[in-house]
Amino acid sequence: MRAFRLLLLLCPASFRHEYGDEMQRIVARHRREAEGPMAIAGVWLSAVADILATAARVHADILRQDLRHTARALWRAPAFTLTAIVVTSLGVGATTAAFTLTDHVLFRPLPFRDADRLVKIYEGEINRDPGLRGMAGTNDVSPANYLSWKEMSRSFAVMSAYAFSSSNLVGGGDPERLDGVSVTADIFDVLGVSPAIGRAFTPQDDRTGAPCVIVISDGLWRRRFGGDPSVLTTRVRLDEETCAISGVMPRGFDFPLRTTTFWRPVRFRADVSEDRADHYMRAVARLKPDVSLEQARAELRAVSLRLAQMFPKDNADVGTVVIRLRDELTDQSRMMLLALAGAAACVLLIACTNLASLIVARAAARGRELAVRTALGAGRERLVRRRSICACWRRPRSSRWRRVSGLACFRHSARPASRITRGCATAPARSPIAAPSACAPASSSRKSPSRSCC
């Protein structure tokens, strides 16, 4: 019967102590009466099924009682309840907000394909301190240097650039100031994202003198155009230029900022390579699968030295800084986020300490009550379960018993407890404090009490 004793561990300890021996005797008797392997297997299958059902019912009943009486206890002590709710809310709320921000900025993967291969490229001094992290000691990129890097480097599958831009949207409603970005045609190839509707930019869209086309965000499409798929045939006026809408980006795409509402080709001037002192762009690139970040840095360092020799006037001290896309934060910003998360953890610890102190003080005031309950026969498991509440629990006014494949099981009903199921032998009577009732002795005339304090 060792296997059956292991099954009984699924039931509460108080239930096992009061009815476990009787249930083992019933199963042993049924096993002796069984003839043949199939009958024995049937007895065990029935025993397993009944134990699982009985354990679930008993645990559910105990949980229901504990929840009901916990609510009663909290209702009878409003000061304690309000204090506990406020302390818990402050601790959990502050910690959740801080860790959500830290996770979103520092740990959560970026919403781009193979985001770990995306890098940002900035200009910086050739002798830049290697201990600097993020954007510290960097500068925006001139279009001329970006074009030279793109032409002379071999470590990147795709390289693109963008510059922030704002325009006035006129027509089709009230005028509106929009935040957008001027990009090179392959920006969406670098990020690995395609428009949800329409097409992305082509090299022809990025040529000097090409007609203006734009790609709009999902938010602007729904807010300004009502989510109409025929928006691709719409022409809008940005500042003094009429532009056709070529595509709509997927919902949630917000590169490089959350406020970005449109993307338009940058369309470099023909003489853009002559001015290397005009720094207003930022470069983003995707590493080739077989190239590491250090290899890309070493190659661009060599390219910078070559450009310094070719253009000593503008590029004498200009180097390159290559960082991963998610590592743009400076050391100061990173430290502030980590400090915020640490402060939130301290707030949570203080809240837990205060809440524990409240519960301990409340339990200490109930020392005599717990001693009386222990003397009356309450089990340690039930006392621990209810240590943090101070209400008497009410049991059902009456109950009846039924037999499930010879195993004693329990359920509440409105019928008297004098209806005793067949097949249960006499079990030692215990105080109703110990556990929810499970099997009544066949010769017993004991009634279930209508009220009981645990």
Q: And the tokens for 311?
A: 């253009």
Residue 181 included in any domain: yes
Residues 147-164, mean pLDDT to the nearest whole number: 95
pLDDT level of residue 36 (50, 70, 90 thresholds): confident
pLDDT of residue 133: 66
Average pLDDT score over residue span 22-42: 85
* 449 confidence band (pLDDT: 50, 70, 90): very low
pLDDT at 331: 67
**389-415: average pLDDT:** 34
Q: What is the DSSP letter of 103?
A: I
What per-residue confidence (pLDDT) applies to 83? Answer: 87
156/270: higher pLDDT: 156
The answer to the question of residue 104 being in a domain is no
Q: How far is CA 84 from CA 75, 105, 315, 385, 388, in A?
A: 13, 32, 64, 18, 12
Rounded Cα gap, residues 99 and 343, in angstroms? 10
426 has a pLDDT exceeding 50: no
Domain-embedded: residue 194: yes
Q: Which residues contact 86 (CB under 8 A, 6 or more apart)?
A: none
Determine, yes or no, domain membership for 169: yes
pLDDT at 209 over 90: no
Does residue 305 lie within any of the structural domains? yes
Q: Quick check: pTM over 0.85?
A: no
Higher pLDDT, 158 or 66: 158
pLDDT digits (tens, 9 = 90+) for 327-375: 876 667 778 888 888 888 899 899 999 988 888 887 777 777 778 877 8
The answer to whether residue 389 scores a pLDDT higher than 70 is no
Look up the domain containing 289 and give its range. Answer: 115-329
User: Helix or strand or coil: residue 134?
Assistant: coil
Which stretch of 2-11, 182-191, 228-237, 266-275 has the lowest confidence by average pLDDT? 2-11
Is residue 398 very low, low, confident or very high in pLDDT (cuts 50, 70, 90)?
very low
The answer to the question of residue 436 being in a domain is no
- For the chain, the domain total comes to 1
* Torsion angle, alpha carbons of 98, 109, 319, 158, to 10: -150
Domain assignment of residue 376, yes or no: no
- Residue whose C-alpha is closest to residue 125's, from 114, 136, 113, 109: 136
Q: Quick one: pLDDT at residue 65? A: 81
Residue 453's pLDDT is what?
35
Q: Which residue has the tokens 């026969």?
A: 377
Per residue in 267-297, pLDDT tens? 998 888 888 988 999 999 999 999 999 999 9
Task: Please state, rounded to an integer, the average pLDDT across all residues of the chain.
Answer: 80
Tell me, what's the pLDDT at 433? 33
| Confidence (pLDDT) at 330 | 64
Alpha helices of 77-166 — where are they, by DSSP H? 78-102, 143-152
Q: Is 207 a member of any domain?
A: yes
